[in-house]
Chain A
């Protein structure tokens, strides 16, 4: 690179370079305060992630526990068999309980007789044989009717359990065998035509769409972030930080938009479901006053103020008329002055692709339930644009919105099966709040949020 230096360049360079001047002491105080904010923000994120992980862990654990609860008897007997191989009395006690059930079964099974048999359970790994008595029901085919107890069994077990009454059952199958007789296992000695218990359907997929009221909260972190606004609109914006903020809060208002997407639910238990999917979520706001300006040379795009950042007018988009009737051409090359349009509304739209991960906890019965839903979603910027609401004129792109963000959300919903037990309808008021400021500019912190009424239709497999 060659630079042709003039004497004036050298004069200024020599005069300015190497200068030493201490900034006022309060600058460090501000930096220190900002660093604390950043640190606490990071801490908050860490706590939040820890809490989310803990919630997931608890969710999975609870789901696993509930899923296994029906097999409590299995666990009991299995533990007894595994850990107390020499404790014959306990095993006999369990077997005695089983015998009681089997006695009751006589009411349902005519032509059956009760007969106490001895079953030897050989715990193979330890090569020890355990014996206990029980009272199985007899049928013509076998002395122990496993079918009568509504248990589907591996054939090997069925055979070995029936004839010799000495079953060579490995550890895993020992648990199953005990399940035959445990009262809380859900196995009832009823007639053969009744199903033992309904299988829970675990996966649902569906779609959702919701009307959304979107807005943003803004923070000013230490600078007058729009001198432009201050200079030109002193009636609303003064020189203080608060007046900057109140300026935007005065001219901007919530907007109505929508959100939609696809979802997948995985039912961990009857109470807990893990949800994910993909959504297009819209945020933004309306601006009642539009402030148009351009750079020094009138060569660059015009920029329109908004609290989400500057909006670059991409090409000629038509004309605007201000309060005094002056027509202003929206083009890249025309040179004009700032313009306020109190009668026009600018619609600022921020669209994000979100991949939510949430936990739903259900209350209530099987067909109709109330649930609480909470989760987070990585949020990828799809577009940031502005248009004139009444004229549907697209103005341009918002220049300084981060591509990647994180949104947190929570809602309370109602879910009900419709048509049959396959289709499920749900409706959920939900709050979404961006956990980080979306603007790339440090001194503007714009946190979009939205209230939505999410409605969804899910098909359960």
Chain B
């Protein structure tokens, strides 16, 4: 952690608005994408970012300096998204179960796919599938942790992950079948 960041954090603890603005400018570009792939749309992502940063400023005095400050903020954002998920996303229809598609290598397209394209694909998942998939694949959480966080059974978590993967694979495959340009995308 740089001295600058330490100073900014200290000033945030004192409630200085200028420091809060600096902190926001520093971390919001990296947190906003996190909010985007944990929520259903841009409006909700902005709300999570808003609520998350309010918590950051409220509890910044509790940050003890152990571990990455960015990681600390990221956890707050994810927990804020989870809270929101638990209270809001319970009426979305469950997608039909897709046939499981053989997992294939994607090395050849990773460098060509953009954040927005991936985001669009991930957002096609139902909220719960998306949440389970994100927590498992991006946050490296176990099914036990996920079941605890979301209030679902371990079996449900596994099932959701499996379905989410199937859907994602299908979407990715579809995208490249439609384009028929897979070869051109290979670097």
Contacts and interface: CB of A to CB of B under 8 A. Distances in A.
A383 to B, nearest CB: 20
A13 interface: yes
A24 B128 contact: no
Interface stretch (A52-60, A292-300, A371-379, A453-461): A292-300
A330 B121 CA distance: 36
Q: Chain B, interface size: which category?
A: 35 or more
A31 B153 contact: no
Interface in B19-53: 20-21, 24, 28-30, 32-33, 36-37, 44-47, 49-51, 53
Contacts of B92: 296
Given A7-B104, A35-B20, A442-B51, A296 B29 contact: no
B168 interface: yes
Interface stretch (B2-10, B61-69, B134-142, B179-187): B134-142
A296 B145 CA distance: 19
Interface residues of A, number: 54
Given A3-B136, A27-B50, A11 B110 contact: yes
Interface in A28-76: 28, 30-32, 34-35, 38-39
8 closest pairs, A vs B, by CB? Answer: A9-B137, A19-B33, A15-B118, A11-B106, A295-B90, A23-B32, A19-B115, A1-B142
Contact of A12 (B51, B122, B140): B122
A3 to B, nearest CB: 6
Given A5-B137, A11-B110, A296-B126, A24 B46 contact: yes
A299 B156 contact: yes
Contacts of A31: 24, 50, 53-54
Contacts of A156: none
Contacts of B148: none
B105 A7 contact: yes
Interface of B: 15, 17, 20-21, 24, 28-30, 32-33, 36-37, 44-47, 49-51, 53-54, 57-58, 83, 87-94, 103-106, 109-110, 113-115, 118-119, 121-122, 126-128, 133, 136-138, 140-142, 145, 151-153, 156, 165, 168-169, 172
A184 B165 CA distance: 93
Nearest to B15: A39
Contacts of A226: 88
A6 B91 contact: no
A129 to B, nearest CB: 64
Contacts of B53: 31
Interface of A: 1-3, 5-24, 27-28, 30-32, 34-35, 38-39, 222-223, 226-228, 231-232, 293-297, 299-300, 303, 309-310, 338, 400, 441-443
Given A34-B50, A297-B128, A443-B51, 10 more contacts: A3-B142, A8-B106, A19-B30, A23-B28, A31-B50, A34-B54, A228-B91, A295-B128, A296-B90, A299-B156
Interface centre among A17, A223, A296 (most CB of B within 10 A): A296
B138 to A, nearest CB: 5
Contacts of B89: 296
Nearest to A297: B156
A295 B131 CA distance: 13
A125 B161 CA distance: 90
A8 B169 contact: yes
A32 B91 contact: no
A12 B54 contact: no
B37 A16 contact: yes
Contacts of B88: 226-228
Contacts of A22: 28-29, 32
A6 B90 contact: no
B90 to A, nearest CB: 4
B47 A20 contact: no
B91 A293 contact: yes
6 contacts: A8-B168, A20-B30, A21-B29, A23-B49, A28-B21, A39-B15
A294 B122 CA distance: 23
Contacts of B91: 228, 231-232, 293, 338
B87 to A, nearest CB: 6
A328 to B, nearest CB: 15
